[in-house]
Every structure is written in C-alpha cells, then in structure tokens.
Amino acid sequence: MYQTNLGHKKARVLAMAGKGGTGKTTLSALLIKYLVDKGQTPVLAVDADANANLNELLGLSVETYIGELKDRMKTETPPGMTKREYMEIYINRAIVEARGFDLIVMGQPEGPGCYCMANSILSEVMEGLAQSYRYILVDNEAGMEHLSRLNLRKIHILFVVSDPSSRGVLTAARIANLTKALKVEVRHKVLIVNRTPKNLPIRLKDQIQEIIKETDLVFGGYVPTSEEIFQGEIQQEPLLDLPGNTDVVKITQGIFDRFLTG
C-alpha cells in the first residue's frame, strides 16, 4: 500500500459505469494502463462490480474481498480488538499491490441486515486512502451505489460506457441522470461508445447526438472492436501488456488525454 500523502491533496476520483456487457471493465483496465504509462501514479483501483473480474484483466490474484467483511466482523473480531480496528486491518489486507497501482475488490453484496457502522468505517478508511493516491478509479455496476457507500461523492470524471445499441445509449443517459438522485457531484460526464463496428448505423449516431443534447453527457469517442483484446483475453494476458501502438490503446489514450490532461 502506498503511504505517500502527496502533500495532503485528495485523490481525483474517476468512475466507470454502464450496463452489463458494454466492456466498461476492459476500459477501466485500459485507463489504469494509461495512468501508469503516463506516470500519473499511484492509483487505487476499486472493483465495485458484483461480477468482479478487473483483477483478471490486470493479471492479479485476489484472496480478500470487502464484501465478506461485514459478516466476518460479527464472528471473527479477535478478543480485545474493536470492530473498527478489525475492519481497518482487514481493509488494508484486502489491498492488492502492483506496479504503479493498488487494487481493492468489493466482491458480492452482503446479506440482509443493517450495516450502518460498517459502512461508516468503510467510508472513513476510504477517506484516509484518498490522501495516499493521485487517482482513485471505481469500476461500477450500473447502479453506482458503491460511490455513496465509499463516501466518494465528488467525481472528477464519470466515464459512461455504452455498446453500439439503442438500449445501451438509453441506459447511459439514465446512468448520467442517476448521479443526481445519489447526490454525487460530477465535474464531467463522458460517454464512450465501445466495441463499435466499422460501419455504425446513421440512426444510432443520431440517437447519440440526441442523448448528448438532452443530458449533461459529453461525447468522448468511439472505441472499435479489438482483435488484440479478444486474443489477449483468450490467452489470459493482462491488458497492461498491450503494446502502445495497438489501435485500441492509441484510441483510448486519445480519449483519456482529452479529459485528463491539464
């Protein structure tokens, strides 16, 4: 775990969201690659998707999940140790260290019951971690409830990912509007249309323009289907190892440059 406090400046919070199957976790991994390659480190990546697989795209193994903590806290807190102390130790143990970034995986949602104290402690720990990283990147489910639970209510950039479908674009618009209900302050909301074919239907392009006009989304760009990513996933190779001259890397880096430079 990084201990540098970066002059007591809080980390910039970046978030990915989109309906299932849009490739937002892939784009999260490419964003981590971008930040590491640009020297914008240290980065804390938080996999907040119940179907956690960001670690696989990063070539990391995970043994400890935050989602298991609340039930364990009830039965495994050692004698003489407060639940708060146990949670802090557990959360720090859940951090997987890598070159230029760390990873925390939330895991499956907890069972029923009130976990107000545990949520409060988790928020406090995240507040402390925010002093130790340059960026925090959260790979969300479409609902994005974890942003509130982690006390990450000020988002520098929310990348909303759609696939090249009418349903995907409409879901992206709903996600953009959801931040208001969650009382999350977002500086920039950026729409990325992922896995696009060479010939995108004109009607879909028109629909994207309509969504941009009707919401506070800014259009980030199109990311085409990538044979390199497809083959890399089959071979279980980390996306961090993709060459810089790969088309998908150049295209995504161009998008990230627009919004993260300066």
96: confidence class by pLDDT, cuts 50, 70, 90: very high
Residue 259: how many other CB atoms lie within 10 Å: 16
Phi then psi for residue 75, to 5 deg, are -120, -20
Query: What is the arithmetic mean of pLDDT over 233-238?
Result: 89
Q: What is the chain's mean pLDDT, rounded?
A: 87
63 SS3 class: coil
Which pLDDT belongs to residue 262?
A: 59
φ/ψ region of 144 (left if φ > 0, alpha if ψ in -120 to 50, else beta) reads: left
Tell me what pLDDT residue 183 has.
83
Q: Who has greater pLDDT, 32 or 129? A: 32
Look at residue 81 and give its three-state secondary structure: coil
4 has pLDDT over 60: no
How far is CA 3 from its chain centroid? 21
Q: What is the pLDDT of residue 118?
A: 58
Q: What is the pLDDT of residues 158-174, one digit of tens each?
A: 999 999 999 999 999 99
Q: Model confidence at 261, in pLDDT bands (50, 70, 90)?
A: confident
Q: Output 50 or 77, whichever has higher pLDDT.
A: 77
DSSP string, 94-122: TPEE-SSEEEEE--SPP-SS--HHHHHHH
The ranges assigned to domains in the chain are: 6-260
Higher-pLDDT residue of 7, 145 = 145
pLDDT digit string, tens, across residues 116-141: 555 676 777 788 888 899 999 999 87
Given the candidates 3.10.20.30, 3.40.50.300, 3.60.10.10, 3.90.1170.50, the CATH classification of the domain at 6-260 is 3.40.50.300
Neighbours of 2 (CB within 10 A): 18
pLDDT greater than 50 at residue 196:
yes
Residue 97 pairs in a beta bridge with: 102
Residue of 217, 239, 226 whose CA lies nearest to 161: 217
Q: Tell me the sheet residues that pair with 196.
A: 224
Q: What is the pTM of this model?
A: 0.90
